[in-house]
Amino acid sequence: MTQDIALDIQESLDQVKTVLNTQRSEATVLAVSKRQPLERVEALLSLGHRYFAENQVQETAQKWPTLRQQYPDVAVHLVGPLQTNKAKQALTLYDRIHTLDRPSLAEKFASLAEQGHAIPPLLIQVNTGEEPQKAGVLPQEVSDFTTYCQKDLKLPVDGLMVLPPQEDLPTVHFAFLQTLARRVQLPHLSMGMSGDWQQALPFQPSFIRLGTALFGARPG
């Protein structure tokens, strides 16, 4: 492993942690390791960091089962879209899923739970920008969907996640997500990426999702 990369990653993580402390944030830093060279991921693991996120089931399945043998206390979260036919496999790979974005996926989890599978904590992805091409529950559907998941399907839903529209000020969407979560009494918020995480902090995220800010640019 090149020592320089490990030092860069350590410095980046330290800088993020310093800001979190200064802002009195209790956010968990999820290192988004998608498409990053393994040596960078291993560098962060060897520094003691244990919270990671991926956006693809297949890539996670190739990477993490081996790393978990070496680092059994690692937590890997899913932050990308999940196909219904991969839901069962996802249960074997992830400690939390941030992208519950539709009733059919919730119903799939409920049926897997009935078959005896353990379901990890789930966050509902909200399409706050109401973008037609983007996944997520519409803001006006959050309340009914939360009730459906928690009461009818008995799923462990405990928060909301957002990916703001690129062209908007992210702050508006972070504030909106916080308002929605308070309304439906969900404690956890997943928001803030490399470009906007500092703007998310005033709205008290439980998880910030940092890829390039920690690892550097994704190659290729």
Ligand X SMILES: *Cc1c(COP(=O)(O)O)cnc(C)c1O
Where along the sequence are the contacts to ligand X (CB under 6 A)?
32, 34, 55, 79-80, 163, 193-195, 209-213
CB 41 within 8 A of CB 63: yes
CB of 213 to ligand X, least distance (A): 6
CB of 211 to ligand X, least distance (A): 2
* Cβ proximity to ligand X, 125 vs 178, nearer residue: 125
CB of 32 to ligand X, least distance (A): 4
Name 4's Cβ contacts closer than 8 Å, sequence gap at least 6: none
CB of 98 to ligand X, least distance (A): 7
* Cβ proximity to ligand X, 20 vs 153, nearer residue: 20
- Report the sign of the C-alpha dihedral through residues 86, 115, 53, 137, in that order: positive
Q: Which two tokens stand for residue 176?
A: 């909106």
* Cβ proximity to ligand X, 189 vs 193, nearer residue: 193
C-beta nearest to ligand X: residue: 211
Q: What is the DSSP letter of 73?
A: T
Backbone angles phi, psi at 67, to 5 degrees: -65, -35
Q: Which two tokens stand for residue 157?
A: 């839903």
Q: Which two tokens stand for residue 54?
A: 């991926």
Report the C-alpha gap between 28 and 186 in whole angstroms.
Answer: 17
CB of 44 to ligand X, least distance (A): 14
* Cβ proximity to ligand X, 181 vs 208, nearer residue: 208
* Cβ proximity to ligand X, 139 vs 164, nearer residue: 164
Report the C-alpha gap between 49 and 68 in whole angstroms.
Answer: 13
